[in-house]
Amino acid sequence: MKNVEVSIEACLACMVECEKCSTDCLTMQGHEECVKLCRDCADICALCARLCARGSKFADALCALCVKCCEDCANECSKHDMESCKKCADACKKCAEACKM
Q: Where are the domains of the chain?
A: 4-100
Interval 35-84: pLDDT, tens: 999 999 999 999 999 999 999 999 999 999 999 999 999 999 999 999 99
CA 5, CA 19: separation in Å to the nearest integer? 21
- Considering the four listed CATH numbers 1.10.3720.10, 1.20.1050.10, 2.40.10.10, 1.20.1270.360, the one that applies to the domain covering 4-100 is 1.20.1270.360
Average pLDDT over residues 2-25: 94
CA-nearest of 18, 12, 37 to 85 is: 18
Tell me the average pLDDT of the chain: 95
Q: What confidence tier does 3 reach under pLDDT thresholds 50, 70, 90?
A: confident
- Listed range (28-32, 33-37, 63-67, 92-96) with the worst mean pLDDT: 28-32
User: Which string of DSSP letters, residue by residue, matches 3-47?
Assistant: -HHHHHHHHHHHHHHHHHHHHHHTTSTT-HHHHHHHHHHHHHHHH
Instruction: Map residue 82 onto helix, strand or coil.
Output: coil
